[in-house]
Chains A and B, each alone.
Chain A
Amino acid sequence: MMKKKQSIIHSIAAAPHIFWSVLFIILPLLIVVYYAFTDGEGNFSFENILSLGEYAEIFGLSLELSVIATFVCLIIGYPLAMIIAKSKPKHQKIFLMLLMLPMWTNLLIRTYSIMAIFDDGGILNSLLGTTFHFIGTKGAVIFGMVYDFLPYMVLPIYTCVSKIDKHMWEAASDLGCSPTKVLTKVIIPLSMSGVISGVTMVLVPSISTFYISQKLGGGTFELIGDTIERQFVTGALNVGAAISLVMMILILISLSVMNKFSDSSDGGIIV
């Protein structure tokens, strides 16, 4: 009796979201699908999908850069989340706000500031008297991605780590674990769901980012987000829709593979 009542209430809990998703995610998505499978006149055609071979290289590059950026975010973000979670509760919220605060300025303005600092004739070079070339390289794009998406890695990991019982550390070390073992055998497995959320939240938007690569990459190469944007802006909606559809499917597949390998006991977070 008890169980039944519970399940009704809790299935209602997801109802608004399901309703919202069907109306505002699935229906607009169907429009994308429609465009992907039609030509300019609205006739059914596979041409857009078949023409995607040309974009394999661009997609590969976007994937590579975003994988690297995600990894850098993880390497920087995990210790950061741990340090924040272990600091005084009073300080924790300050650190978290400080982490999000840069995002409250406009993306364009932030990017311009980064350019003003690192450009060939920028602040850094004129202060140091060097001719360090950074803006316009792939490294700069990765830097931009890490700069912009780091909070999305730290926040979910922090959320998980701060939930881990403090006694867990003590118990593990009492049972004879070295500090590294505590980390690898206890803390990291327990924070895995946060790591996976974080990886998703960084990887996915950085694959499809378009502004960062245009400005920090100096426009000498293109990422898939730039390509899609250009298709849409020049009115080639159908090809743009086809690229994004295929990209979406590829991301979904890779996320589900990632999820298979991760701790499946509390899986279901991503796919």
Chain B
Amino acid sequence: MKKTFFLIFILLLLVSSVFSCTVSEESDDGEEISGNTVTLNVYNWGEYISDGFDGSMDTNAAFEEYFNENLAKKYGFYVKVNYTTYATNEEMYQKIKSGAGSYDIVVPSDYMIQQMIQNDLLLPFDATTLSNFSNVNEKFKDSPYYDPDNMYSVPYTYGMMGVIYNSALVDEEDASEKSWGLLWNEKYSKKILQFNNLRDAFGSAMYYLGLDINSTDLSVWHTALDKLSEQKELVQGYVNDEIFNKMTTASAAVAPYFAGDFLTMAYQNEDLSFYYPKEGTNYFVDAMCIPRSSRNPEVAKEYINFMLSEEPAVANALYVGYASPNDLVVQNEDYIAGISELHEDAMDILYGQTPDEVNASYPYNPCYQSLDTLSMNDSVNTLWESLKTENSTELWVHVSCGVIVVGVLSLAIYNTAIRKWRSKDYRRRDREIAKAKKAK
């Protein structure tokens, strides 16, 4: 045991020291220029950038190369990208707000950008000054609600939520209605998935009912909650990324998710189909921003500008699978061929209808605003909690737990009692013996 463990320990130390050597070697080539190597901290969603998989372009490495060859002289230093990742907007927000991380690039979603601007966490850098900003499609530049003057953000991806269903398990006539109602169809009880985050879950109910997703009226949220608790009986689970596995293995039949992700799922299971609900649906934009705490905003701007140029933008759009707001990407033949490989209608699904067309019948802004900004955070959270707790716990849980607790307690009490009784007994005997001795 001891030796094995130390053997493993020593091996691990060796392995890690070898790694540390290789890593430090990489960053050691700044001889021509007197300045040092500057680290650019990029904080992005997981699996959200092309990493050189299957011969594709490693866009971070490509940026380093581009910068070190063309711009290092101008700036007087080399650049190394330090790329780290996060899973939700809120986690990223907490990290930046607390000051525990200083990053040069972050990629929040629309509502989070709005919230971060409000809290003065983003640096205004005027995206229009970037030379490649012209590549961005007009409709993303035309005063987006989260950043009306394009001061803080450059769109990276966008997309819409839709309903994914398994055509082998779902009747075509139910699906052909193209409604959120499929998620409430009792026929597919226990085969329906729902989002495990309150914004998207409430969102699906609110679009379905034609309610304002950014309402500040609590009664509107209560109406949506009633709809959700009606659905709860039918739901197999409240899930996030498990949707990929559950849908591809046909564990579930109906689920809401993003169009870009549907393409990857459909690539593995040909039975899967997709539609945008007629009632309207969520439309999101993820955009590159520079936090206020950035130490190298100039390099960050170069990074954003580089990601807007054709080749990296195509590589990233292919890797991520979401729609690209970059005009050069949408016209690029390699991109069209690549994305159509996933699904034959991929271009149509991603770009066939503009967000405005999809949401033609939805009377409100289809983009989420931050609940924080709406100051609805606490009250909506309470509603979500009540949805999660309203089911009754099965009897066997109470019974078996009760049996265990009673059993353990009575055993403990029995033991203590016996011990007490015994020690009394011993003491009595001791006294008797002592008495007997005295008597002698």
Contact = CB atoms under 8 A, between A and B. Distances in A.
- Please say whether the chains A and B touch (CB closer than 8 A): yes
Nearest to B93: A235
Given A61-B393, A121-B250, A67 B381 contact: no
B381 to A, nearest CB: 6
A235 B388 contact: no
B94 A233 contact: yes
Interface in B341-394: 371-372, 377-378, 381-382, 384-385, 388-389, 391, 393-394
Size band of the A side of the interface? Answer: 35 or more
A71 B245 contact: no
A146 B397 CA distance: 15
> Quick one: which of A61, A119, A236, A262 has the most chain B CB within 10 A?
A119
A236 B393 contact: no
B249 interface: yes
Contacts of B385: 54, 58, 222, 227
Contact of A119 (B249, B393, B412): B249
A20 interface: no
Contacts of B32: none
B252 interface: yes
Nearest to A123: B249
B388 A115 contact: no
Contacts of A133: 190
A179 interface: no
Size band of the B side of the interface? Answer: 35 or more
B381 A230 contact: yes
A68 B196 contact: no
Contacts of B171: none
Nearest to A214: B196
B247 to A, nearest CB: 9
Nearest to B196: A219
Interface in B218-251: 232, 235-239, 242, 245-246, 249-251
A-B pairs, top 7 by smallest CB distance, nearest first, are A218-B237, A219-B238, A93-B1, A261-B412, A121-B251, A121-B249, A120-B251
Given A116-B249, A138-B397, A232-B94, 19 more contacts: A57-B389, A93-B4, A112-B242, A115-B242, A119-B246, A119-B251, A120-B236, A215-B242, A218-B238, A218-B239, A220-B232, A220-B235, A220-B388, A221-B388, A235-B94, A235-B372, A235-B377, A261-B412, A261-B416
27 contacts: A54-B382, A61-B393, A67-B405, A68-B401, A115-B245, A119-B249, A120-B251, A121-B246, A122-B249, A135-B251, A136-B236, A136-B237, A215-B242, A218-B237, A219-B196, A219-B237, A219-B239, A231-B381, A233-B94, A234-B377, A234-B381, A235-B93, A235-B372, A235-B377, A236-B377, A236-B378, A236-B381
Interface of B: 1, 4, 88, 90-91, 93-94, 190, 196, 232, 235-239, 242, 245-246, 249-252, 371-372, 377-378, 381-382, 384-385, 388-389, 391, 393-394, 397-398, 400-401, 404-405, 409, 412-413, 415-416
